[in-house]
Structure 1
Amino acid sequence: MTVSDGQFGNGARPSGVEHVVSLPLSTGHGVFRAAGYLDRDRGDEQMALVYGDIGREAVLTRVHSECLTGDVFGSTHCDCGEQLSAALDTIVREGQGILLYLRGHEGRGIGLLAKLRAMELQTQGLDTVDANLALGLPVDARDYRVAAEILHDLGVPSIRLLSNNPLKQEALLRYGVKVTERVPLLMPPRQENIRYLRTKRERLDHHLPHLDSAADWS
């Protein structure tokens, strides 16, 4: 079951996002309904993938920041692509849920080319935090206003947030999203990304308890 067209565009509060189109989208994970939005403030085009009946409380929701290298090219430098696939599978198993794919969040909001420059610095020994700072860029420039506005437009009363990042939960709460629970999304670490993941845990406050038992590849 997928959400009907009539369930979109039902928010009453003024919003910077415009619902443009919705249609069934068949994927390798299942058939979702893709809802396309225009962020009128920034000009970004955004998309929500909706599965099942989302008109109830505590909808399982993944707010996923775009990552071209991980999501599209399968880079093992991060765990983004694996998280994207796992989130879609988890939503289908749940029988209902939403995945918001947020464009404009590349490299935690610094953009693709800046992210690649930061990754180059990481090959020289800097971690993901210090690499951004060395470039004179913020550690995390992401904003979650558009995510909150899309969720409101979808008529979602509350969510269970599929994330390891407590700061993401706090950001959504500041925009008025009721988060009843944060659901872990833990991917097995790899030799290529263990240092990156440990930096996310130690310096960015991500909840990654499974790293305690990870192999020491350092």
Structure 2
Amino acid sequence: MNTLTIKRRVMIPMRAGKVMAEFVSFNGDDSGKEHIAIHCEGVSLEKSKVPLVRLHSECLTGDVFGSGRCDCGEQLDEAIDLINEQGGYILYLRQEGRGIGLYAKLEAYALQDQGYDTYQANEMLHLPDDGRDFSVAAEMLKALGLGNVRLLTNNPDKAEQLINNGITVDDIVPTGVHVNKHNRQYLETKAKRKQHTIILGDG
């Protein structure tokens, strides 16, 4: 991974202007993925000096179209609200389908409809369980001048990769559990197979 530098900062009002965020692009990433940082100053008087950071991998189906097969859209909405309140960054990473891409994700969905779980489906397609590389997130944070973060996640791999790439994770703030009848098995599988800190009720 090349050293990243900030390319452009642009203020964008979100949710009909109720949230003002600074979108930051970067130079130096030769992957062509166009990852972006989204910064909110925070409106709470109790905001921490250490920024709250969410590493959010792109999910077109969930983020844009509100798919019920995952919890990505709800997690992004939650992150916007918390970071707008407390101050920090969403790093929006162009790693669709845990890094396998949109078309491959749809192929995996078709296999899941036949009864396979999300990881079994990837294995049948000869794809990795999780192909995401969060080292780019560490380089984005360094370009932003951040060495310490509070990480908003249920995924221990995100914290581990940041730490291994020189970022200090002062605290892990768990995300909410956004469960419905369509994504329950998906969430259960993440908890069992990848030790995500997800506690599901009996619904």
Q: What TM-score do you get using the length of structure 2 for normalisation?
A: 0.92
Q: Is the 8 A contact 1:47 1:100 kept in 2?
A: yes
Q: Is the 8 A contact 2:2 2:30 kept in 1?
A: no
Match of 1:67 among 48, 51, 59: 59
Q: CA deviation at 1:39?
A: 4.8
Inter-partner Cα distance in structure 1 for 2:141 and 2:14: 22
Inter-partner Cα distance in structure 1 for 2:185 and 2:38: 31
Q: Percent identity, please.
A: 44
Aligned to 1:100: 91
Q: CA deviation at 1:16?
A: 3.5
| 1:118 maps to 2:108 | yes
Q: Is the 8 A contact 2:108 2:122 kept in 1?
A: yes
SS at match of 1:120: helix
1:153-164 counterparts in 2 under 5 A?
A: 153-164=143-154
**Equivalent residue letter for 2:196:** H
- Per-residue displacement from partner, 1:140-196 (whole Å, max 9, x unpaired)? 011012111110111113000000001111011111111011101113310010000
**Equivalent residue letter for 1:100:** L
Aligned to 1:24: 11
Aligned to 1:170: 160
Aligned to 2:175: 185
Aligned to 2:68: 76
Query: How many residue pairs get matched?
Result: 196
Aligned to 2:82: 90
Q: Is the 8 A contact 2:38 2:90 kept in 1?
A: yes
Q: Is the 8 A contact 2:10 2:24 kept in 1?
A: yes
Inter-partner Cα distance in structure 2 for 1:214 and 1:17: 45
Inter-partner Cα distance in structure 2 for 1:38 and 1:196: 35
Aligned to 1:7: none
Q: Is the 8 A contact 2:177 2:198 kept in 1?
A: no
SS at match of 2:81: helix
Q: What TM-score do you get using the length of structure 1 for normalisation?
A: 0.85
CA RMSD of aligned residues (A): 1.6
Unaligned stretches of 5+ residues in structure 1: 1-13
- Per-residue displacement from partner, 1:76-133 (whole Å, max 9, x unpaired)? 0000000001100011121x11000001x11111111111100110011000010000
Residues 137, 152 of structure 1: alpha-carbon distance in 2 compared, 3 angstrom cutoff? same
Inter-partner Cα distance in structure 2 for 1:141 and 1:30: 32
Inter-partner Cα distance in structure 1 for 2:122 and 2:103: 12
